[in-house]
Amino acid sequence: MANTTRNLLLFSLSCFIPLLFRPTCSQIATIAQGQQLKHDQELVSTSGMFKLGFKSVHEDNSYLGIWYNGEDDNLLWVANRNTPTFGSTGILEIDDRGSLKILHQLADPVVLYSVEEPSNTSATLEDSGNFVLHELKRDGSIKRLLWESFDYPTDTLLPGMKLGINSKTGLNWALTSWRSDKSPASGSFSLGLDPSDSTQWAIWWRGEVYWKSGSFQHGFLEVFLSNSSYDFFYVSNENETYFNYTVKKAVTIFPRLKLNSEGELVSYKADSVASQVSCTKNMSIGCMKLNVPECSRSLGNNVFQKHVGYMSNTGFKFSETDNLSRIDCQAKCLDDCSCVAYASKNDDGTGCEIWSTGVSFTESGTGDNKLDVKREVFILEPRENKWWIWLIASVGVVMIVPPVCSICYKIWENSNRGGVGKMNQRVLFDEIGGGAMASTKNDTLISRRTDGHDNQLDVFSFKSIVAATNCFSVGNKLGEGGFGPVYKGKLVDGREIAVKRLSSHSGQGLVEFKNEAILIAKLQHTNLVRLLGFCIQVEEKMLIYEYMPNKSLDFLIFDSEKKYMLNWKERLNIIEGIAQGLIYLHKYSRLKVIHRDLKASNILLDHEMIPKISDFGMARIFGLNESEANTKRVVGTLICHPWHCVNEN
């Protein structure tokens, strides 16, 4: 028996180990003195989370930058933002004196750090995303830190980075936007601590205050921090004053705060993007009114609308030395009372060209100006004030949706009302082990905890599940498996749930439904998914689980980008958790259980990345003294495509 359990465990784990671990022998995180990192080479942090190398952002301009492994197009830090290298000529080097510099043809080197006297140094890309230069002792151990990229941020604040001032060294930890999405050069917006009140953040546009957060306790920061997935810290002493932050959850996908070229402060978390501050689109709290001519103020609700097409003639082009962003160009247009349109002059979204009255725009053809090319043009247009339409639509939704859901529910209930359905429903309750049939009209849930069973399982009414899942809306749908669709829901008490709804054309059926409900109710382990209850209403059968915010293991390890968010420690913890769950099933539970369909998609991950074995529809219960059994059905997941199986006989 012990050998059988061990063999099953080893076989199960062998399926996951190759998926979770990837060879990294060829990856390096450090360059030593005298070594070079060429244009086609990269440094990779020890955990595999970050990469450093040269990137071509637009045309032949190349930049040394850091990015998340799996998000190659989103640079987090740029070393030479205002002095790009050309083509593939860029080389990162630690010279024989120990200085760190970027070499490229036809120009002087970009010196990142110059040592005062010859030293033994090395540069490392750390797991935090920080690129550091250390002076080494004779034995190769670290003597001191000489330079770090975290002291010179560009437009992105990573967990662990500081936003503030070091009064001892004179460093100002602030973000400066890109000039455009295709140009990392220093833009027109910056984010830092307000000199007049270091407990609040401020955004400046060309040196003019553009937005203020309010103090740490009584403003934007308080609202933002309370709703954020980040933990923020404020530190102030005689040497430095700064904010920094960490990630609350064990895993948040590619976390960062970014000041974009439009002056918006954007947060990235859990594979989502949210604009926290915007003074050009929705006028966030704290936005300052900029000085504009009286004629521009009289325009009232007029706004610039983006169009793609051709202008009838050439506009006024500002000098390239102005280094203008799109927002700068918009401001130039507003300063000119005759301006009716503007556009970026260059392909990378920089520069500025404006048009005065008397021009025309067309979406096709070239107009009168044969030299004009198709481009994005922002044209001043009246904003249609349609508040009454939104008001009517909002009232209509509030008044119509609840009755429609209620009518749909009544139609469904009446169409399924009958003796056979009621009989099947009662039989299922009895087989699962409930005495809850008497109260199935309850609007929330029906407790079955007084029926003599020691398992704590709830019976939910169909109406409560309809409300929790927003009428099984597409927006609430998490996915679909052999059992049927799975929906995310929220109960009236605030609990988040996952609802597995048995589909009429499901590859699984009543046997698997009863098997899973009965089995999971009798099993309790931290590495097994928790079944909260079930719902049976005539032909509707649903299982109600605790909601797993980090989805399933296959969602991470099989995704070319998201697989890098799991570091080695987390992967090992996941493997150990799966093993603990299997040992419990095979050896220590009240029932000896063989899962028979263990795969990455059936391993769910909670908010702390603790693995939970799920989907026990195919599981088989053994007697305590049994080590083998026969089956009349082939179960599990098909791993051979039909056409491949036919070709290979």
Report CA dihedral (372, 378, 383, 387) to the nearest 10 degrees.
Answer: 120
Task: Judge whether residue 277 has pLDDT over 70.
Answer: yes
**What pLDDT band is residue 644 in, cutting at 50, 70 and 90?**
very low
Cβ pair 85, 54 in contact under 8 A: yes
Percent of the chain with pLDDT over 90: 32
What is the tens place of the pLDDT at every residue in 134-144? 999 999 999 99
Q: Higher confidence at residue 361 or residue 326?
A: 326
What is the tens place of the pLDDT at every residue in 16-25? 444 443 434 4
Q: Higher confidence at residue 372 or residue 487?
A: 487
Q: Higher confidence at residue 348 or residue 123?
A: 123
Q: Tell me which residue of 491, 547, 541, 539 sits closest to 516, measured CA to CA.
A: 541
Residues 6+ away with beta carbon under 8 Å from 487: 469, 472, 476, 477, 478, 498, 499, 501
What is the tens place of the pLDDT at every residue in 534-563? 887 767 788 898 898 888 888 888 877 777
**What pLDDT band is residue 272 in, cutting at 50, 70 and 90?**
low
Q: What is the pLDDT of residue 287?
A: 85
**What pLDDT band is residue 438 in, cutting at 50, 70 and 90?**
very low
Q: What is the pLDDT of residue 49?
A: 92
Task: Judge whether residue 393 has pLDDT over 50.
Answer: no
How far is residue 168 from each of residues 165, 172, 241, 343, measured CA to CA in Å? 9, 11, 11, 44
Q: What is the pLDDT of residue 648?
A: 45
Q: Mean pLDDT over residues 419-427, rounded?
A: 43
Q: What is the pLDDT of residue 181?
A: 93
Q: Can you say whether the dihedral through the CA atoms of 324, 325, 331, 334 is positive or negative?
A: positive
Q: Is 492 exposed, middle or buried (0-12, 13-18, 19+ CB in 10 A)?
A: exposed
- Which tokens hold the place of 230? 């980040």
Q: Mean pLDDT over residues 429-445, rounded?
A: 41
Residues with a catalytic annotation lie at 597
- Which tokens hold the place of 108? 């002087």
Per-range mean pLDDT, top range of 123-132, 239-248, 335-344, 538-547: 123-132
Q: Higher confidence at residue 299 or residue 439?
A: 299
Q: Mean pLDDT over residues 352-369, rounded?
A: 74
Kindly report the pTM of this predicted structure: 0.57
Q: What is the pLDDT of residue 311?
A: 85
Q: What is the distance between the alpha carbons of residues 643 and 646, in angstroms, rounded to a whole number?
A: 5
Q: Tokens 């230069």 belong to which residue?
A: 133
Q: Higher confidence at residue 628 or residue 343?
A: 343
Q: Tell me which residue of 548, 542, 545, 521 sits closest to 532, measured CA to CA.
A: 545
What is the tens place of the pLDDT at every residue in 35-88? 999 999 999 999 999 999 999 988 888 999 999 998 888 999 999 999 999 888
Q: What is the pLDDT of residue 635?
A: 52
Q: Tokens 């190769």 belong to which residue?
A: 140
Q: What is the 3-state secondary structure of 570-634?
A: HHHHHHHHHHHHHHHHHHHCCCEEECCCCCHHHEEECCCCCEEECCCCCCEEECCCCCCCCCCCC
Q: What is the pLDDT of residue 251?
A: 52
C-alpha angle 231/235/239, rounded to 5°?
150
Task: Judge whether residue 520 has pLDDT over 80.
Answer: no
Q: Higher confidence at residue 165 or residue 294?
A: 165
3-state secondary structure of 154: coil
Strand partners, 178: 186
Cβ pair 199, 213 in contact under 8 A: no
**pLDDT, the chain, mean:** 77
Q: Higher confidence at residue 216 or residue 452?
A: 216
Q: Higher confidence at residue 249 or residue 265?
A: 265
Least confident window among 152-156, 178-182, 473-477: 473-477
Task: Centre a 10 Å sphere on the Cβ of residue 390 and count the other Cβ atoms it contains.
Answer: 9
Q: What is the distance between the alpha carbons of residues 349 and 324, in angstroms, rounded to a whole number?
A: 9
Q: What is the distance between the alpha carbons of residues 448 and 132, in angstroms, rounded to a whole number?
A: 60
